[in-house]
Amino acid sequence: MSRVGKLPVVVPAGVDVSLNNDQISVKASGGNLHLAQNALVKIVNDAGKLSFQPANDSREADAMSGTMRQLVNNMVVGVTKGFEKKLNLVGVGYKAQATGNKLNLAVGYSHPVNIDMPAGISVATPTPTEILIKGADRQRVGQIAAEIRDVRPPEPYKGKGIRYSDEKITIKETKKK
């Protein structure tokens, strides 16, 4: 059995987990998340602990038990604490401004780039060169952060662009004569 799949998910107080025959729902003050249940994994809820067992002895069921466990754990953490990604803008004149659920970027193009945030995702700009993306769904927060980074990815010669706060950019040496 998967090492991750063996660990139970502890459901904290105030979090409501409901198991239907085709869907898992996690609800708390941070939001409401749903996940389609996989037929290869049996989920057992006993007194605030969710355990995940493979439905058969196949390799796919074993792997899927660990995957489902981690996805449900991310849902529980997301509705209690939430997830966030931090992006930095590096470049002369590069700036970001968050207004409501829109993000306005000035990153060296002849026009400003406007990005609408989907429901459940909030964006903030503590400084003009920092972007903070928060939400309950880990996958959606990471996807939005990747789409924002894709507007102007960091280039390897000067390092200008939008990068994650923990990202290291290796600067290339320029061509010599």
CATH code where residue 32 lies = 3.90.930.12
Band of residue 60 on the pLDDT scale cut at 50, 70, 90 = very high
- Tell me which of 61, 80, 99 is where a domain ends: 80
pLDDT value of residue 1: 61
Whole-angstrom Cα distance, residue 22 to residue 133? 31
Q: Are residues 74 and 117 in the same domain?
A: no
Q: Residue 64 falls within a domain, yes or no?
A: yes
Q: Residue 127 falls within a domain, yes or no?
A: yes
pLDDT tens digits for range 37-54: 999 999 998 888 999 999
Q: Are residues 71 and 89 in the same domain?
A: no
Q: Are residues 125 and 145 in the same domain?
A: yes
Mean pLDDT of 131-143: 95
> What token pair was written down for 75?
């849902």
Q: Are residues 48 and 98 in the same domain?
A: no
**CA-closest candidate to residue 138, choices 97, 62, 98, 78:** 78
pLDDT value of residue 130: 96
pLDDT value of residue 30: 85
| Owner of token pair 């990815």 | 153
Q: Residue 42 falls within a domain, yes or no?
A: yes
Q: Residue 29 falls within a domain, yes or no?
A: yes
Q: In whole numbers, what is the pLDDT of the chain averaged over residues?
A: 92
Band of residue 168 on the pLDDT scale cut at 50, 70, 90 = very high
Band of residue 5 on the pLDDT scale cut at 50, 70, 90 = confident
Q: Residue 175 falls within a domain, yes or no?
A: no
Percent of the chain scored above 90 by pLDDT? 82
Q: Are residues 89 and 134 in the same domain?
A: yes
- What separation in angstroms does the CA of 135 have from each of 33, 71, 121? 11, 15, 5
- Tell me which of 80, 97, 115 is where a domain ends: 80
Question: Range of 119's domain?
Answer: 83-164
Q: Residue 177 falls within a domain, yes or no?
A: no
User: Does 2 have pLDDT greater than 90?
Assistant: no
